[in-house]
Amino acid sequence: MTTPKTPVAEARTAFSDAGPATANPPASPAAAAFAAAYPVRPVPAPGPVDTAPIAATPAALEELDSLWQAVVHETRTRGNDIHLPISLAFAERLCRAYPEADALLVRVATLLHDTGWAHVDETRIISEGFAGDWRKAAIRFEHEKQGCEVARRVLPALGYSEEFVDRVCDIIDGHDTRLVPHSLEDALLRDADRLWRFDHAGIALASSWFGMDPATYTDRLAIEIVPELITQAALDMATADLDRSNALLKTAVIR
């Protein structure tokens, strides 16, 4: 069934940074398997859910420091040096809430997922990547492909197996353009990729990409991004962060 196009729907696709996770029926065997394994949405969290400000629990494990150092160049594009560390901190929290996930896979995929932006035409990132029907924009597919190239370039030299690198690339390839997650690890990356926006640092950076004032931006986070979250843990974190950020930025008054 196709949804009639409305101005609201068009605005929504332009605002989202990653594809809606549950909007369409499963499109592949992997997506169907994930949907069957996790039929309740948002997916309940068997582990602890930490809703404190993300600055309280930075991505702490030093084992990824060499990977960070290998992609410093790629962090200097499109705010990746803000977006990626905050997303990784959220990914680590989500892994504690979902201990059945392969945490190393989630962490490495999250760290690398947007590094491909450094290898596409930078002038097209805002003009194509955040406008119109962005999911079909060639630049979005290109940044996913380039992100896989980065993963294949840096991970083997750091001791990661070919099989592990393939699994990382399976998640990176499609993280924005594929409609549905293929695994719990894929789902946790997708939620972490949204959660960073609710922190005030994410609001400061991402609102500028969309040319929005903070109040307009946080309104749209609540309306459009919260319903896209796949896991209950992410929903709890997003709600707590949104309340804090709205209070901190006085969005009820400055609008």
| Interface positions with Fe ion (CB under 5 A) | 114, 176, 193
Read off the DSSP letter of residue 5.
P
172/113 Cα distance (integer angstroms)? 5
Q: Which is nearer to Fe ion, 42 or 202 (CB)?
A: 202
> Which CB sits closer to Fe ion, 78 or 167?
78
Nearest approach in angstroms of CB 131 to Fe ion is 15
Q: How many of the other CB atoms lie within 10 Å of CB of 46? A: 10
The residue among 78 and 220 lying less far from Fe ion, judged by its C-beta, is 78
Q: How far is the CB of 209 from Fe ion (least distance, A)?
A: 11
Nearer to Fe ion, 193 or 199 (CB): 193
If the CB atoms of residues 126 and 215 are measured against Fe ion, the closer one turns out to be 126
Spell out the residues 6+ positions from residue 71 whose beta carbon is closer than 8 angstroms to its own. 111, 112, 115, 150, 154
Phi, psi (rounded to 5 degrees) for 79: 65, 20
How far from the centroid of its chain's Cα atoms is residue 144's Cα? Answer: 13
Tell me the C-alpha distance between 18 and 219, whole Å: 18
What is the rounded CA–CA span in Å between residue 218 and residue 128? 23
171 vs 184, beta carbon nearer Fe ion? 171
Reported in sequence order, the residue ranges of the chain that DSSP labels E, i.e. its strands, are: none
Shortest Cβ distance from residue 253 to Fe ion (Å)?
31
Q: How far apart are CA 2 and CA 162, in angstroms?
A: 39
Tell me the HSE value of 213 on the side-chain side, using a 13 A CA sphere. 9
Residue recorded with tokens 């990729």? 193
Closest approach of Fe ion to the CB of residue 232, in Å: 21
**C-alpha pair distances (Å), 224 with each of 20, 22, 236:** 9, 13, 16
Nearest approach in angstroms of CB 80 to Fe ion is: 8
How far, in Å, CA of 146 to CA of 162, rounded?
18
Nearer to Fe ion, 176 or 251 (CB): 176
- Nearest distance from residue 181's CB to Fe ion, in Å? 14
Q: Minimal distance in Å, beta carbon 114 to Fe ion?
A: 4
